[in-house]
Every structure is written in C-alpha cells, then in structure tokens.
Chains A and B, each alone.
Chain A
Amino acid sequence: MIAARSAPATPPAPFSAFGGQTPGRPAGTSDAARTRAHAFAALSSRLAARRAAGMGLRLWLVCAMLALCASAFTYWQVRVPLDGIARHAGGAVAAGRLGLVLAAFVLAAGAIAASRQVTLAAAPPGPEWLALPVEPALVERHLAREARLPALPLVAPATAAWLAGWGLLPLGSLLAMPLAFALAFWLVTRAACALALRATAGAAGPARRLPAAWRALVSARRTVRVRKVAAARFRNESRWRAIARLDRAVSLRAGSPRARLALALLFLVLGVAAWFMGRDPLELRAQAFAGFSAGCAALGAWAAWRAAGDPPPAVRPLPTSLADHWLARVVPMALLLGGTLVVHAVMPPAIPLVARVGLALSWALPAMLVTLLGLHLGLSLPGRPNSAETLYYGWLGAGLVASLAIPLFGWAMLIAAFVHATRRMRDGWARSTVPGTD
C-alpha cells in the first residue's frame, strides 16, 4: 500500500568538486574563506542541476509551453499599443513606454524574490547552517540565490516584450534595453532579498546583536510556543467531522491557513459589498464577480494548504480515508460559498431577483471548479503544502493568461487541470511522503 519514494542513485561526486584544502589551516584565513565561497558556489550549481534533472522531460515541455504562451501573449499585448505610440508620438516615446514595461517586469521579479526569501527564511533548506564554520554573508548569498530562482521565468515574457519593439523603436535604444534590464534585474532582486531577509529576521532578545542571516536562521528554528490554548473537548463524531474540526482549530490559530482563510473571507465580503459601490448594473456585476472570484481563489489556496499541510507521519497511520479528508474540506467550503451566493442573490438592489438568482447559480460552477482544484492538488501532494499552493496558483495564472489571450480558453485549461489533479489524487494519497523506510 505504502511505497517508498523512488530515489535513483546519482553519479558519485568527487570530494574535490566542492573544494577543500590541506588540514590544519586556521578557519579565519582568506584561503579558507575562498574555499568556503567555492563550496557554496558548487553547492548552488549542484542543486540547480539536480532540480533540473528531477523535473523530467514532460514537466520541462509543459513549462516551455507555458513560457511560450505567456511570451506570445505578452508580445501581442505590447506590440499593438507600441505600434500606435510609435506612429503617433514617435520612437523615443515608444521606447520610454517599453522601458516602463520592462521596469514592471523587474519590479515583479523583485516582489517574487522577496516573497520567496520570506518563505525560505521561515524554513531554510539545508543543514543546520549555524553549526557550520561559515560566514553569515555566504549563507545569506546562498539563500538569496535560492530565492531569486522563481523570479527567473519572468525573463521569458520580458524578452518577448523587448522583441515586440523590433522594427518600431530606434536600434540604439533597443540594444541598450537588455543591458539595462539585466543590470536592473540583478540589482533589484538582490536588494529585494536583502530587505526581505532583514524584515523577517527577528530582532528581539539575545539574537539582536547577530548579523541578519543569523537572526533569520535563529528565529526560523525557534519552535517553542508556550502560550496555552483552550482545553479541547473529546467527542464521539464521524471521521470527516473530526478532520473538519481539526481544520477549524488550525485555521483559527496564527499561521499560514489562517492568513489564507482570512484573505478568502475578505474578498468574499468585498464581493458582496461591491453591489453597493455604483449604479451601472453591468459594472456592479463585474465588481461583485471579481470579488467573489478572488475569494474563491484564496479559498482554494486554503484548501490546498490544509489538505497538503497535514503531516503524513501524524495523519497517515490514522484510520481515515481519502473520502474523509475530501469531505472534511468540501462541506465547509460548500457551506461558505453557498451562503455567500445566497447573499449575492438576496441582497443586491440593482438587478431583478430572478436575474440575481440565475447569476448566483451560474457563479457556483466556476467557484466549485477553482476551490476543488485547490483541494485536489493539496490531496495529491500530502506533506507538501508549498508545492501544492505553487502549482495551484500556477494553474490559475496560466488560466488567466489564456483567457486574456482567447476568451474563455482559461476555463478550458482549468478544467483540464482539475481533471489531471483529480486523477492524480488517489495516487498521491496512496504514496508515502514519509521520507524513506527502514
């Protein structure tokens, strides 16, 4: 029933691949510092190679297709208005416009790198860095390098945006832009990582004298919580209800599930409030649907996080089935979304009641699709909430881009993703994610 995850052997690594020197050299010498820097560089390249190999051909092809779709979409979205600007206002103004587009990509890359840095600072990958004789700057640089990786895919659409300028802008500015983009990308993502690390590194207590990287690592490993919570009642209830109760308890405490649930509730409330923010019925409907959709997306992220977030060693030995875990999330989500749709059908004043009921019913299907996609991804990746959420938002983003390129095509993509996640769910659930077996 439970199989160990396959772990194919890797080619033996020569010890010298990570550097080294004759023993007895004091740790503080510049030679030793150079050796450590070399070891970190080798570590980064080894990790990158291993991850690239681990993705497999099919995933590489999917990523390439997604990058191609996003790039093609960006190309036309930039090319058409740029052509108009170049014709009416001249090449210099068009160059300025393209510069702004590329600057937006740089800022987005900075935001992605910073957000990843925050996640990494909370749970730094790798060994107990603080137990090793390494300089704080080396660990900070290593973590920043890891954090910048998710920002790299933005280079594909940025390149497409730059290509959109060919034939419209002066050659000099076109040739200067990639250099400026590369420099800005390098500087902004580094600065974003440094700021994010300093913002998240705890500065209280005895750690305040330490460098930022050390403070982050110390606070990341701080797992002791001494605040008591209300005593739990022991109940006799069905398994799915017990899981739902666990979800509620976890989602009400400070942490990732609560943040996601709070975001979902905020958007769902904003969606209802949107009916009272204007007069034009079409505009009101669009506003309300936008709020409701964002709420569903955040609720799907909560479902993905909760379903994947249960630690397998604690949950898998229990006599619960996939159906119990599925039902425990579906029932509360259905109640919440159903209640919200009833409010949408009853409250808004600007549209006839029959139209509002029809509207609410037609929103139910996309809401189910999005939230169930999150749940099924979560259930197919037990013990890996980060991966489940990243995949979930990846699909939503791809669907959004596809819909912008070809109306309603995004829904087709999301349905395909839903079918794929649903088919994987049983396999993912059956597979052990407890590292290895004796």
Chain B
Amino acid sequence: MLEIQALSRRYGDRVALADVSFRVRAGEIVGLLGANGAGKSTLLRTAAGLQPPDTGHVLAAGHDVGTDPLRAKQAIGYAAEEPSFHDELSAREYLAFVSAVRSLDPDATHERAVRLARSFELEPRLDEPVLGFSHGMRKKLSFLAAVLHTPRVLLCDEALEGFDAPSALAAKSELRRLAKAGSAILFSSHVTETVERLCDRVVLLHEGRVARELARAEWGAGDDQHSPLARVFLGLLGAPPLGGR
C-alpha cells in the first residue's frame, strides 16, 4: 500500500536518506524510530510529497507521489510535526476547506469531523480562529485533518506529541480503527512505549539508512528500566543502557 523504493536525499554535504526501501502493507501500523536527525521527518515529508527525493520513488496506493501527485495525495493523510494553518480561519473552516479540496461529501465529513473533534476534546473550540490554539490543539487539528478522509495511507510525524492523555487514547483507537479498515500507517515517534503498544512492526533509521526492521515477535523482552524497543534502540546507537547493563 505504501512503498518506499530506494529513497535518497541530501542536504548539501549531509546525507539525510540513503537508499531507504521498505513497504507498509494495508492494515499494518509500522513504527518509525530513530535518533534526532536520523531522517524520520525527511522520509515522511518526502513520502507525503512535500519535497522531492534526489533519487527513488514513493508509491501510495499504487500511485507514484512524484509523477502522479494528485491521485497519490488523494490517498495520503499527513499529520505534520509542526503543523501550519491560516490562523484567521476557525478549525471548522479549515476542515471544511480540506474536505472540499479532497472532494468529500460535506455532510458525512462534517459529521465525522465533529465526532473526531469531540473525542479529542476539540469540539467546543471548533469555531474559534486557529490563532488562539495551543501547540497541542494545533497537533490535534492537523491529525484530524489527516484522518478526515479515512486515508488509505496515513503518515504521522510525531503526531501524538502534545496530545493530552484522553485525546492520545482516542487518537490511538482511531489509528487502530483505520488499520482495521485497511489503511497503511507509518507512525514516527520518539516514545518507544507508544510504538510498542501501537505498531505491528518497526523500522529503525540510523544516519539516513534502515538499520533494522523488526516484527512485534522479534522485540524481545524489556527489563526494569527499559522497554523492549528502548533496549534495541540504545543498542543500535551504541549507548550504554541505564544502570550500566
């Protein structure tokens, strides 16, 4: 459903992505883990069509993001790490605009938007200009806009960062519901516990390359101080685990 094929991207002399390839199947939630600067956001931005790769391709629902962007982006939902909006518009106006450019049925989409907003505790603020929104509320709005059309491919860049606990639970449940409905979800996060609970598989990026791909069964066990993925992650970075283990 989402296919990353030999993706490479440089910023000047620095390699952000080097020949990255993997696939996210329909109905699967894949976690993307990596240290700061490992290339997670570059990968997600490139997959969402926000920047072209130097080489390689991204196929979303069978459409190449580079050569057939309209059809590919119709299938993609992207929840940005640092979302931006027209601050003068209300949240409802923004969602109505996104719904229109995605050619969705207004009534059904409105109903879905309100239901999701209610579960994220955003409903009372839907008619306020985005200008007054906190960081967490902006992230919720970005997530809501990304899932509004039940995307076949969902790209989440630190999407739940800034969510309060009840909203984070609601968002995770929405992600699971989307996966059950057949969406392919690529979920980037620094919080290994969230990835462990949510994802079926993880891709570990290190210095722009895929260092490891692990299925849930391969994570092993954690210990008193580390979750299973945190151990794998620290091992990959060569950092000594806490407590000198």
Chain B residue with Cβ nearest A135: B70
Q: Contact between B106 and A126 (Cβ–Cβ < 8 Å)? A: no
Q: Contact between B70 and A128 (Cβ–Cβ < 8 Å)? A: no
Is B53 an interface residue, CB under 8 A from the partner? yes
Residues of A within 8 A of B84 (CB): 125-128
Residue among B48, B96, B108 facing the most chain A CB atoms (10 A cut-off): B96
Is B221 an interface residue, CB under 8 A from the partner? no
Q: Contact between A435 and B73 (Cβ–Cβ < 8 Å)? A: no
Given the known interface contacts A10-B129, A27-B71, A50-B88, the answer about A32 and B52 at a Cβ–Cβ threshold of 8 Å is no
Q: Contact between A50 and B92 (Cβ–Cβ < 8 Å)? A: no
Chain B residue with Cβ nearest A38: B100
Cα A67 to Cα B133 in complex, Å, equals: 35
Given the known interface contacts A27-B70, A46-B89, A54-B88, the answer about A437 and B49 at a Cβ–Cβ threshold of 8 Å is no
Q: Contact between B106 and A15 (Cβ–Cβ < 8 Å)? A: yes
Partner of B134, one of A51, A134, A222, A435: A435
The SS class assigned to the A binding surface is loop
Given the known interface contacts A222-B51, A436-B137, the answer about A132 and B129 at a Cβ–Cβ threshold of 8 Å is no
Is A26 an interface residue, CB under 8 A from the partner? yes
Residues of B within 8 A of A436 (CB): 131-135, 137
Q: Contact between B131 and A435 (Cβ–Cβ < 8 Å)? A: yes
Q: Contact between B89 and A47 (Cβ–Cβ < 8 Å)? A: yes
Is A321 an interface residue, CB under 8 A from the partner? no
Q: Contact between B132 and A6 (Cβ–Cβ < 8 Å)? A: yes
Residues of B within 8 A of A39 (CB): 97, 100-101
Chain B residue with Cβ nearest A146: B86
Cα A343 to Cα B145 in complex, Å, equals: 60
Q: Contact between A132 and B73 (Cβ–Cβ < 8 Å)? A: yes
Interface residues on A, range: 35 or more
Partner of A27, one of B50, B103, B107, B133: B103
- CB B224 to nearest CB in A, in angstroms, measures 32
Residues of B within 8 A of A6 (CB): 132
Q: Contact between A13 and B92 (Cβ–Cβ < 8 Å)? A: yes
Residues of B within 8 A of A51 (CB): 88
Residues of A within 8 A of B200 (CB): none
Chain A residue with Cβ nearest B88: A50
Q: Among residues 33 to 69 in chain A, which have CB atoms less than 8 Å away from a CB atom of chain B?
A: 35-36, 38-40, 42-43, 46-47, 50-51, 54
Chain B residue with Cβ nearest A23: B105
Residues of B within 8 A of A43 (CB): 86, 89, 97
Residues of A within 8 A of B50 (CB): 128, 130-131, 217-218, 221
Is A180 an interface residue, CB under 8 A from the partner? no
Q: Contact between A133 and B52 (Cβ–Cβ < 8 Å)? A: no
Cα A51 to Cα B86 in complex, Å, equals: 11
Cα A9 to Cα B145 in complex, Å, equals: 20
- Ordered by A's residue number, 26 sampled pairs between the chains whose C-beta atoms are within 8 Å are A6-B132, A9-B90, A9-B128, A12-B92, A13-B127, A15-B113, A17-B96, A18-B100, A20-B100, A25-B103, A27-B103, A31-B103, A50-B88, A125-B84, A127-B98, A127-B145, A130-B50, A131-B48, A131-B50, A132-B98, A133-B70, A207-B52, A218-B52, A221-B50, A435-B133, A438-B135
Binding site for A on B (CB under 8 A): 11-14, 16, 45, 48-55, 69-74, 76, 78, 80, 83-90, 92-110, 113, 126-129, 131-138, 145
Binding site for B on A (CB under 8 A): 4-23, 25-28, 31-32, 35-36, 38-40, 42-43, 46-47, 50-51, 54, 125-128, 130-135, 205-207, 209-210, 217-218, 221-222, 224, 226-227, 435-438
**Told that A51-B88, A132-B73, A210-B52 touch, could you supply 15 new A-B pairs with CB distance under 8 A?**
A7-B128, A7-B133, A16-B107, A18-B96, A22-B105, A23-B104, A42-B97, A42-B100, A126-B84, A128-B83, A131-B49, A133-B73, A135-B70, A435-B132, A436-B132
